[in-house]
């Protein structure tokens, strides 16, 4: 059994949590999901499975209606499926043996190929999804227009059908307020930044997603190049903001705050999701600044997933009350930090 992305180390993972590329494709012969009946959905499942089997690719197939609510939510928490797929009775997801690739079927588009990796590895994610797409091309004619490229349910995805993103932890840029200017700049560059829980949401735990806004008029590699060069710039700015902060009079105050958070997380008997997320951000920064020994970023990324509601429910093996969940979350966090 290979590791999930959140169980693996990655390049610059003190700041970059994950890199993700998603590709949207539709069958040329079928109506798009919002106009399609169940027989179309079943044909898609059958065809995609068949083509992948022929290519000798091993995938675990999970149909949405065969999963419990908790199992669906767990896949969302692991970023292997989208929240939108959860609501599709005819939806399904195919997960590769190495857990890097998930192929969502019958979501907003017929096919959404996703690759998610730890750290800054956008190019690797890009080539992985393109390779899967190439396999699928052998057995499926995709909806394509010579001028507009690959056709999708929503005009925001037309062309390459590609959405690429990196998840960044930017506490220093947030604290110093530089983040506001940054959000404006990337917008002018055809990119967009949003919080962990989607557009318009407050950036929980100072975690931001940087992704491309435009999918048409650029090649796939131009899209990932653009995000990578922006990400590198932002990472450099974050490091500089951290350095300045640590060189300022505020150093002791910052260290005190971060280490108190570490103390709370390592000892608390009850943690709400909101409190946990802000503690996690502080601990991640403390670790990056060299204030804590004997802990890896992978441990924190695992917690980011494993301390979420559905993952905790799975661990308990039964439904939990909010109170029980907060107690279990504190247990899991304490256990991980004390290793």
Partner 1 sequence: MILCDECKHNPATIHRTIISNGVKKEQRLCAVCAAQYGYSVSFPTSSINNILSGLFNIGQNKPEETPDRKCSRCGRSLDTIKKTGKIGCGACYRDFSEELEPVLRRVQGQMEHKGGIPETLSEEYKRNREIVRLKKELDEAVEREHYEQAAELRDRIAELKNETV
Given a contact cutoff of 8 angstroms between Cβ atoms, the answer to whether 231 and 16 are in contact is yes
Residues 63-102 that bind partner 1 (CB under 8 A): 83-84
46 versus 144: smaller Cβ distance to partner 1: 144
> Which member of 155, 250, 296, 335 binds partner 1 (CB under 8 A)?
155
30 versus 105: smaller Cβ distance to partner 1: 30
CB of 250 to partner 1, least distance (A): 21
Q: Binding segment for partner 1 among 9-17, 22-30, 45-53, 241-249 (CB under 8 A)? A: 22-30
∠ Cα 87 50 94 (to 5°) = 35
Residue 246 burial (C-beta neighbours within 10 Å; 0-12, 13-18, 19+): middle
305 binds partner 1 (CB under 8 A): no
- What phi-psi label fits residue 60: left (phi over 0), alpha (psi between -120 and 50 degrees) or beta? beta
Bridge-based pairing state of the strands 92-96 and 162-169:
unpaired
How many residues bind partner 1, per CB under 8 A?
Answer: 59
Pair of tokens at residue 176? 């110093």
123 binds partner 1 (CB under 8 A): no
Q: Binding segment for partner 1 among 54-62, 114-122, 153-161, 293-301 (CB under 8 A)? A: 153-161
Q: Binding segment for partner 1 among 59-67, 199-207, 237-245, 254-262 (CB under 8 A)? A: 199-207
Binding-site string for partner 1 from residue 306 to residue 335, where x marks contact by CB under 8 A and - marks none: ---x------------x--x----------
Angle between helices 273-288 and 322-337 (to 10 degrees): 10
- What phi-psi label fits residue 119: left (phi over 0), alpha (psi between -120 and 50 degrees) or beta? left
48 versus 151: smaller Cβ distance to partner 1: 151
For residues 173-187, b (16+ Cβ closer than 10 Å) or e, as one string? bbbeebbeebbeebe
302 binds partner 1 (CB under 8 A): no
Pair of tokens at residue 306? 């494993």
Order of strands, sheet of 191-195, starting from the edge strand that comes earlier in the sequence: 59-63, 92-96, 101-105, 111-118, 16-25, 162-169, 207-212, 191-195
165 binds partner 1 (CB under 8 A): no
Q: Which residues bind partner 1 (CB under 8 A)?
A: 26, 28, 30-32, 34-35, 83-84, 108, 130, 133, 137, 141-156, 158-160, 162, 190, 194, 197-202, 204, 214-220, 222, 272-275, 277-278, 309, 322, 325
């Amino acid at each position: 059994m290979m590791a999930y992305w959140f169980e693996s180390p990655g390049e610059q993972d003190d700041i970059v949590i994950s890199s993700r590329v998603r590709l949207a494709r539709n069958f040329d012969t079928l109506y798009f999901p919002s106009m399609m009946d169940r027989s179309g959905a079943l044909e898609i499942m059958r065809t995609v499975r068949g083509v992948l089997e022929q290519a000798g690719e091993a995938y675990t197939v999970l149909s949405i209606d065969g999963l419990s609510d908790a199992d669906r939510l767990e896949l969302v928490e692991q970023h292997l499926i989208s929240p939108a797929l959860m609501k599709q009775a005819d939806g399904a997801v195919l997960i590769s043996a190495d857990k890097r690739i998930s192929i969502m079927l019958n979501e907003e588009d017929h096919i959404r190929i996703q690759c998610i990796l730890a750290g800054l590895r956008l190019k690797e994610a890009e080539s992985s999804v393109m390779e899967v797409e190439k396999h699928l091309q052998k057995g499926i004619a995709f909806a394509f227009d010579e001028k507009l490229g690959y056709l999708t349910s929503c005009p925001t995805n037309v062309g390459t059908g590609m959405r690429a993103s990196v998840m960044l932890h930017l506490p220093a840029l947030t604290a110093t307020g530089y983040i506001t200017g940054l959000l404006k700049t990337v917008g002018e560059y055809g990119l967009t930044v949003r919080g962990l829980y989607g557009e318009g949401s407050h950036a929980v735990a100072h975690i931001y997603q940087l992704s491309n806004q435009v999918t048409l008029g650029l090649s796939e590699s131009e899209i990932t190049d653009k995000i990578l060069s922006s990400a590198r710039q932002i990472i450099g700015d974050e490091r500089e903001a951290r350095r300045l902060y640590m060189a300022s009079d505020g150093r002791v105050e910052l260290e005190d705050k971060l280490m108190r958070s570490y103390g709370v997380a390592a000892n608390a008997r009850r943690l709400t999701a909101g409190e946990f997320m802000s503690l996690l951000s502080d601990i991640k920064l403390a670790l990056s600044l060299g204030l804590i020994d004997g802990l890896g970023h992978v441990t924190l990324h695992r917690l980011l997933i494993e301390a979420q509601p559905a993952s905790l429910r799975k661990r308990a093996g039964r439904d939990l009350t909010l109170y029980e969940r907060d107690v279990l979350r504190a247990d899991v966090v304490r256990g991980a930090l004390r290793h």
